[in-house]
């Protein structure tokens, strides 16, 4: 099939061997690439019930038919494995520049199995895989590791494109269950602990470089679509807003919607929101928009702190999710402080959403007398110290390193611990935004905001946020379309620019598959069901598709609530529309 290389690379770390396997045409046609293909491969290659940190767990890097093409928003890769954080399906996506390098190696997916005896850097090229000892990089932060991998193992072969590298930080080396994979310094495959899996395999980093270009069905059509999109897209108000303010614009919007998670999920509005929102970021820091390749939106922020103890510090960020996690949940009341904490997480290689949730949870534990540690709401230095302890697995950090589920059980605080399937929600409180409740309850990777980004229709007036009946229908429309995004692989923020019809045209131009929208929906639904099968195989039941108790308590400020019945109703509707039974089994 066009749009695919039709081959995957399998690397066995135990024996330091690799081989290339063909992807049968029917599998290509059915699963396309990205999430579709990777989920299929994961089911095929992973033994049921595998320990996520055992060598037998398979970790897959995948690109999709759009990666490396002219398609806007197409510079993304996905990582798929069994999550050490949830024990279920893991997927995580990242942008930057590295996706094009991954695609240039000439594989639709790279499967990594086994574990190295000692710290190793893999270098993947179209013609070979090199295994380099990386003992001296073990312990290095993500920035230094990426620089070293890129500097050491790039090849100068004619035609070779710029190399890219993905790396893990010290947190992943120590098996912190929410450790991430990093690339292009500040871009992360952040959620579900994919970095911990790489760390358990003792792979410190992977360099990708090559000269391959996937065959496109109609390259001219792809370029024409891209050209038209810029014309239409560049004046789109959503595009302009992302370019002007990045995701930090969401602080104001979410606070106004009373859904900005604050003080560890007790409130939906934050008293100091103006100190941590877009205006604060753009006036108190020098900010420049920063884009991934193949993007005219440039939601990234290169931010330099102007004053105070962290003056001079530059990061790409902070993203809205990091602002909510530290600024809202932990009540850090300055954008500079959030940038500082963001930088610590980036260097150590930890997901900021989970890290912020754990720190706020610890603050609650301290306040309730469950543990003893010098940290409180708004305490930047206390939170910073806690982050470093987690990454080092020292003191309280050793408990938190195992994730929220574990810490809640240890500290007898399961009643207030906010997670679904072991993963903490993002910055959209589901009490005012009930569709987000459905998203958190049913997402394949735990309390995830991205599978549907359902805050978008709920905030933009497409559907009443308080509505329960009939919500699942629009929800599935979003989920299916975004499943295709993850399969082709496209950036979420192009969701307004690629409605179903645009996706249809794009798929045809990339792959030659000419299908109506109903057919596309069926493909997406099949992938959702496939993912569901993986999770059920790993022991998932409908009991896992629920929200934590804390989210069924009223918000202290707005008194809004989402009830268990409401969630139950939406979940049952969702199962039914997916064609699953009342237990959520396909």
Partner 1 sequence: MKLIKVDLTAKTIQTEDLPSAYEGLGGRALTSNYINDHVPAGCDPLGPENLLIFAPGYFSGTPLVNTSRLSVGAKSPLTGGIKESNVGGTAAAALANLGISALVVEGQAPEGESWLLKIDAQGQVALLDGADCRGLRTYALAEKLLAAHGPKNNITCIGPAGEDLLSAASIQTTDLDDHPCRAAGRGGLGAVMGSKGLKALIVSRSGKAADPLADPAAFKAAAKAYAQAVKADEFSGEILPELGSACLVEAINEVGAFPTRNAREGQFEDADKISGEAMARIIRERGGKTTHKGCAQCIIDCSNEYVDADGKYVTSSLEYETIWSMGGMIGNGDLDAIARLDFLCDDIGLDTISTGVAIAVAMDAGYKSFGDAQAAIAMVEEVAQGTAFGKIIGSGPAAVGKHFNHERVPVMKGQSMAAYDPRAIQGMAVTYATSPMGGDHTAGWVVDQNLEAFGGTLDRFSAEGQVEASRNTQIHMAAVDTVGICDFAQSGLAAEGGMDNVYRMVAAKSGQPFGEDDWQALGLRVLKAERAFNRRAGFTAADDHLPRMFYEEPLPPHNKVVVISPEELENTFDF
CB 105 within 8 A of CB 125: yes
- The structure tokens 């290339």 sit at 20
Q: Residue 135 or 579: which CB sits closer to partner 1? A: 135
Neighbours of 96 (CB within 10 A): 25
For partner 1, the binding residues (CB under 8 A) are 136, 143-144, 151-152, 154, 156, 185, 286, 304-306, 311-315, 343
CB of 167 to partner 1, least distance (A): 15
Q: Residue 385 or 459: which CB sits closer to partner 1? A: 385
Neighbours of 182 (CB within 10 A): 30
CB of 49 to partner 1, least distance (A): 42
Helices (H) and strands (E) in the chain, counts: 23, 15
Do you know the residue count of the chain? 586
> Distance between CA 451 and CA 475 in Å, rounded?
10
CB of 312 to partner 1, least distance (A): 3
Q: Residue by residue, what is the 3-state secondary structure of 167-195?
A: ECCHHHHCCCCCECEEECCCEEECCCCHH
Distances (CA, A) of 557 to 257, 328, 330: 12, 14, 17
Q: Residue 145 or 483: which CB sits closer to partner 1? A: 145
* Strand arrangement, sheet containing 181-183: 129-133, 120-124, 203-208, 164-167, 181-183, 187-189
3-state secondary structure of 143: helix
Token readout for 214 is 């996937």
CB of 286 to partner 1, least distance (A): 8
CB 161 within 8 A of CB 243: no
CB of 133 to partner 1, least distance (A): 10
Q: Residue 152 or 410: which CB sits closer to partner 1? A: 152
CB 179 within 8 A of CB 172: yes
Cis ω before 142 (30° cut-off from 0): no
Q: Which of 9, 45, 13 is nearest to 119 (CA)?
A: 13
Token readout for 414 is 């399961």
CB of 75 to partner 1, least distance (A): 21
Q: Residue 2 or 316: which CB sits closer to partner 1? A: 316
CB of 314 to partner 1, least distance (A): 4
Q: Residue 284 or 532: which CB sits closer to partner 1? A: 284
Token readout for 432 is 């005012």
CB of 96 to partner 1, least distance (A): 15
Q: Residue 154 or 537: which CB sits closer to partner 1? A: 154
Q: Residue 388 or 568: which CB sits closer to partner 1? A: 388
Q: Residue 152 or 406: which CB sits closer to partner 1? A: 152
- Which residues sit opposite 187 in a β-bridge? 183
């Amino acid at each position: 099939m066009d749009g695919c290389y039709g081959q995957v690379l399998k690397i066995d770390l135990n024996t330091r061997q690799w081989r290339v396997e063909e992807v049968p045409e029917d599998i290509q046609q059915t699963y396309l690439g990205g999430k579709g293909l990777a989920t299929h491969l994961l089911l095929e290659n992973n033994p049921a019930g595998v320990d996520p940190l055992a060598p037998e767990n398979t970790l897959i890097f995948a690109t999709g038919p759009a990666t490396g093409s002219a398609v806007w928003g197409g510079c993304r890769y996905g990582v798929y494995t069994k999550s050490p954080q949830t024990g279920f399906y893991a997927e995580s996506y990242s942008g930057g520049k590295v996706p094009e390098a991954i695609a240039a190696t000439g594989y639709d997916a790279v499967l990594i199995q086994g574990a190295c005896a000692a710290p190793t850097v893999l270098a993947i090229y179209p013609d070979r895989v090199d295994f380099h000892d990386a003992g001296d990089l073990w312990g290095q932060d993500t920035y230094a590791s990426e620089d070293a991998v890129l500097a050491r193992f790039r090849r100068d072969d004619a035609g070779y494109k710029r190399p890219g590298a993905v790396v893990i930080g010290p947190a992943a080396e120590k098996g912190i269950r929410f450790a991430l994979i990093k690339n292009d310094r500040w871009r992360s495959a952040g959620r579900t602990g994919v970095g911990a899996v790489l760390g358990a395999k003792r792979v410190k980093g992977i360099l990708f470089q090559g000269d391959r270009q996937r065959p496109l069905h109609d390259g001219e059509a792809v370029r024409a679509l891209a050209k038209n999109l810029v014309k239409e897209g560049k004046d789109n108000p959503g595009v302009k807003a992302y370019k002007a303010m990045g995701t930090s614009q969401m602080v104001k919007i979410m606070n106004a919607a009373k859904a900005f998670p604050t003080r560890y999920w007790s409130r939906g509005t934050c008293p100091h929101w103006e100190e941590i929102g877009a205006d604060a970021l753009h006036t108190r820091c020098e900010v420049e928009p920063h884009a991934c390749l193949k993007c005219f939106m440039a939601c990234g922020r290169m931010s330099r702190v102007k004053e105070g103890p962290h003056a001079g510090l530059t990061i790409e960020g902070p993203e809205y999710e990091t602002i909510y996690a530290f600024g809202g949940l932990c009540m850090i009341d300055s954008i500079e402080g959030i940038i500082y904490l963001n930088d610590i997480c980036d260097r150590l290689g930890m997901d900021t959403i989970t890290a912020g949730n754990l720190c706020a949870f610890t603050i609650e534990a301290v306040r309730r007398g469950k543990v003893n540690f010098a940290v409180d709401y708004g305490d930047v230095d206390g939170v910073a110290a806690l982050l470093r302890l987690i990454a080092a697995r020292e003191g309280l950090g050793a408990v938190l390193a195992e994730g929220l589920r574990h810490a809640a059980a240890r500290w007898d605080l399961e009643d207030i611990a906010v997670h679904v399937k072991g993963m903490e929600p993002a910055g959209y409180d589901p009490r005012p935004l009930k569709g987000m409740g459905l998203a958190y309850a049913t997402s394949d990777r735990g309390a995830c905001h991205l599978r549907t980004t359902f805050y978008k229709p709920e905030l933009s007036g497409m559907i009443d946020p308080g509505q329960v009946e009939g919500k699942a229908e629009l929800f599935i429309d979003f989920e299916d379309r975004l499943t295709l995004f993850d399969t082709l692989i496209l950036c979420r923020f192009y969701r307004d620019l690629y409605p179903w019809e645009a996706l249809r045209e794009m798929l045809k131009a990339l792959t030659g598959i000419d299908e109506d929208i109903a057919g596309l929906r069926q493909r997406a639904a099949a992938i959702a069901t496939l993912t569901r099968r993986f999770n059920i195989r790993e022991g998932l039941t409908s009991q896992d598709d629920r929200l934590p108790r804390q989210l069924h308590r009223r918000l202290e400020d707005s008194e809004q609530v989402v009830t268990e019945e409401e969630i139950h109703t939406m979940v049952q509707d969702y199962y039914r529309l997916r064609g699953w039974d009342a237990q959520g089994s396909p």
